[in-house]
């Protein structure tokens, strides 16, 4: 059995992706800061027949994140799919003219240092398998900067650039890299942005292995 590691596992998109991939036969490594919530979530998945484990980590602390992913691979099996989709903090979204160097530390740690640390940890295992998928999930500011949300606009754009570089470099190794852009909020019941719909889309990005950037909805939605 191989594993999908969901970095930023929460009750919305993370839960839907865990169920979708779990029912396809993947073990699920849940990675987020709150151990109690992760343990509850893992138990719910287990009751539904999905092998899952909780691996607490803070994405702004690279050592914490790499340790969690290493433990996940040891406990559940090699990570074949990594999804990086933590939700940014509200204080990352300050107006550009009110944003100083210190205000960018958190967003850059969150959206650049975190994914780089995660990828470097799981990549040897994927190469050992001869296959793998890296899924990056971002909001619309990754492609259309928003002056009132400078931190995420800058950091998401950098994350997207990193992911695109990986897409080009890792394709010959059988490792697919894709970025899903979700404009606006994830909305239960929305025809294109319901968590289960998005989970299906992420499954298709993994299975189809074509292209780099995908949009869940129109950018002006």
The ranges assigned to domains in the chain are 3-215
Buried b or exposed e, range 153-184, using 16+ CB within 10 angstroms:
bbbbbbbbebbeebbeebeeeebbbbbbbbbe
Beta bridge partners of 81: 4, 133
What's the mean pLDDT in 171-191? 96
Residue-wise pLDDT for 124-167, tens only, equals 999 999 999 999 999 999 999 999 999 999 999 999 999 999 99
Q: Which residues of 53-66 are buried (b: 16+ CB within 10 A; e: fewer)?
A: bbbbbbbbbbebbb
Q: Supply the pLDDT for residue 220.
A: 75
**pLDDT for 42:** 97
Whether this prediction's pTM lies above 0.75 is answered by: yes
Q: What is the pLDDT of residues 1-28, one digit of tens each?
A: 999 999 999 999 999 999 999 999 999 9
pLDDT tens digits along 184-202: 999 999 999 999 999 999 9
Class level of CATH domain 3-215: alpha beta
Q: Examine the pLDDT at 221 and tell me if it is beyond 60.
A: no
What is the model's pLDDT at position 91? 84
- For residue 189, what pLDDT is reported? 94
Q: Sorting pLDDT into bands at 50, 70 and 90, what band is 84?
A: very high
Gap between the Cα atoms of 105 and 113, Å rounded: 10
Q: Read off the pLDDT of each residue in 56-81 and give the average, rounded to a whole number.
A: 98
Q: pLDDT tens for residues 91-110?
A: 888 999 999 999 999 999 99
Beta bridge partners, 134, equal: 82, 177
| CA pair distance 12, 20, nearest whole angstrom | 12
- Span 21-45, mean pLDDT? 97
């Amino acid at each position: 059995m191989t594993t999908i590691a969901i970095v930023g596992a929460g009750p919305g998109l993370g839960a839907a992706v865990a169920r979708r991939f779990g029912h396809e036969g993947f073990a699920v490594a849940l990675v987020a800061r709150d151990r109690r919530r992760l343990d509850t979530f893992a138990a719910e998945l287990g009751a539904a027949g999905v092998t899952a484990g909780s691996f607490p980590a803070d994405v702004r602390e690279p050592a914490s994140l790499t340790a969690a992913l290493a433990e996940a691979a040891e406990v559940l099996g090699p990570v074949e799919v990594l999804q990086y989709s933590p939700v940014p903090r509200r204080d990352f979204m300050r107006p550009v003219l009110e944003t100083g160097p210190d205000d960018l530390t958190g967003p850059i740690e969150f959206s650049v240092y975190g994914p780089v640390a995660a990828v470097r940890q799981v990549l040897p295992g994927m190469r050992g398998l001869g296959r793998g998928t890296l899924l990056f999930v971002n909001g619309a500011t990754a492609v259309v900067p928003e002056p009132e949300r400078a931190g995420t606009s800058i950091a998401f754009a950098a994350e997207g650039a990193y992911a695109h570089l990986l897409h080009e470099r890792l394709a010959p190794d059988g490792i697919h890299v894709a970025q899903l852009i979700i404009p606006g909020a994830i909305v239960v019941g929305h025809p294109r942005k319901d968590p289960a719909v998005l989970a299906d889309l992420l499954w298709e990005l993994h299975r189809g292995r074509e292209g780099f950037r995908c949009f869940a909805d129109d950018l002006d939605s």
